[in-house]
Amino acid sequence: MTMINAKSLTRPANAIGHSTLGTNDVSKDLSDSYYFLKASNRDDLTLLGQSPDLTYNVQGIREDFPILQRKVNGHPLIWFDNAATTQKPQVVIEALEKFYRQSNSNVHRGAHSLATEATNAYETAREKVRHFLGASSTAEIVFLRGTTEAINLVAQTYGRKVVGQGDQILLTAMEHHSNIVPWQLLQEATGAIIQAVPITKAGEIDLGEYEKLLTRRPKIVAITHVSNVLGTINPIRKMVAMAHHYGACVLVDGAQAVAHLPVNVRELDADFYVFSGHKIYGPTGIGVLYGKKALLEEMPPWQGGGSMIDRVTFEETNYNKLPYKFEAGTGNIADAVGLGAAIDYLQKIGRSAIEGYEREITRYAMSELARIRGARLFGRSKLKTSVISFLVDGIPPEDLAWDLDRQGIATRVGHHCAQPLMRYYGIEGAIRASLGIYNTREEIDLLVETIRRVLQGAFLM
């Protein structure tokens, strides 16, 4: 594989953005030097239903990720830990470097050129997120550290405003700890009651039980869009509509969804939607809370300090307008810019193309892993993407993960921050292979071959 040429991927001079602040005339800074475009007609990338090789230039995409050129334990890196974090394309790395090299400044009030450039870059990234999610306004896009912080914000602001003693909070049995513990903290503070919707053995929400629990009229429903253990794609639009029928407000955890599926928050009608930048090929430490404007306006601030104020006296404080009311202190400016670059990159590939390719390689991986003697796969929903959790009889999962790593294959092992779900399946943990835009059938074949060799007792070098 040809090593990436960083010079050929240098972003254009206007990459930081020079649009007039407060307008939607965001500068277009997409590079034409993405490797995935060099061997494919861009228009072909959205033609699904054919062989992925004809519609999706995965080898070109791989060239855009420098880390995929390295070796681990003497073998080419195979990154199957995408549900934990994704690798970063060269354009994201360069966006971060360029911001710090050319435009580093605090934002919004500096009376100098670098402050203007930094502010434009930061707000341009917010507009990119707005478009990415299909939100109505950038006022509905709040920058935070990630999904976890976003859920905590909603629980401690909206939750404390509407939830009282005996009120119901409805979760599901497949939630990540980040969508359980914040609601438990709210439960402890208010005397609310948490209920969990059961799932089927195939790893799907039991919609009949869901509706029964909705008849108790919960104040809040918090559900994952895609399970980080099972890969199940939940029927969010239907679940939101059902919850609204019974008067509930709905938060959707999109951490495992937005990298893999087209998402439009207005079509879903979600009240809140949250995700993390590092799950979609962007930097760590940056994430997003989308909230309907009317809800955000009614919610009290979560943290106090600079930026989230309009006027302060020792007697009282008037808070800033949306979204800044929820962004106390100096934000993660550079990583927001990096998130914008990651969004550009995914949009350039085409989100429908990504969805089609990843569903096909997920089906292939499930099929091949199921052929292994003693393999147990968790999560067999027909609506599934990207995440495969499994065990192999006779091999402790930690040992198998270590053997895979010796071959350069990165997986994750453990309870995956979903201990209630593990208990449902009667296990302590599992190995998780999670796929991304750059994974290939050949890598899946190497995963399966390595597991078979371990079963045969082969010594792996």
Known catalytic residue at 249? no
The DSSP 8-state label assigned to residue 21 in this structure reads T
Assess if residue 288 is contained within a domain: yes
Q: Give the residue with greater pLDDT, 1 vs 227.
A: 227
Selected catalytic residue, list 417, 427, 455, 460: 417
Contact 386, 231 (CB under 8 A): yes
pLDDT digit string, tens, across residues 374-432: 999 999 999 999 999 999 999 999 999 999 999 999 999 999 999 999 999 999 999 99
Rg (CA), the chain: 23
Could you count the other beta carbons within 10 Å of the beta carbon of residue 10? 15
Q: How do residues 76-94 score in pLDDT, each as one tens digit? A: 999 999 999 999 999 999 9
Q: Answer whether residue 427 is part of any domain.
A: no
Q: What are the start-end ranges of the H helices in 324-440? A: 333-349, 351-370, 397-406, 419-424
What is the residue range of 171's domain?
Answer: 118-347
Residue 279 resides in a domain: yes
Identify the residue with better confidence: 181 or 11: 181
Q: Could you read off the pLDDT of 339-369 as tens digits, one per residue?
A: 999 999 999 999 999 999 999 999 999 999 9
Q: What domain count does the chain have?
A: 1
- Give the pTM: 0.88
Element (H, E) at 275: strand 272-276
The predicted structure's pLDDT at residue 109: 83
Per residue, the 3-state secondary structure of 77-113, as one string, reads CEECECCCCCCCCHHHHHHHHHHHHHHCCCCCCCCCH
Q: What's the CATH code of the domain at 158? A: 3.40.640.10
Domain assignment present for 83: no
Residue 428 lies in a domain: no
Quick one: which of 403, 411, 451, 446 has its CA closest to 429?
411
Considering only residues 20 and 169, tell me which one the structure prediction assigns the higher pLDDT: 169
Domain assignment of residue 298, yes or no: yes
Q: In the structure, what pLDDT confidence band is assigned to residue 74 with cuts at 50, 70 and 90?
A: very high
Q: Please indicate, yes or no, if residue 88 is contained in any of the structural domains.
A: no
Instruction: For residue 16, tell me if it sits in a domain.
Output: no
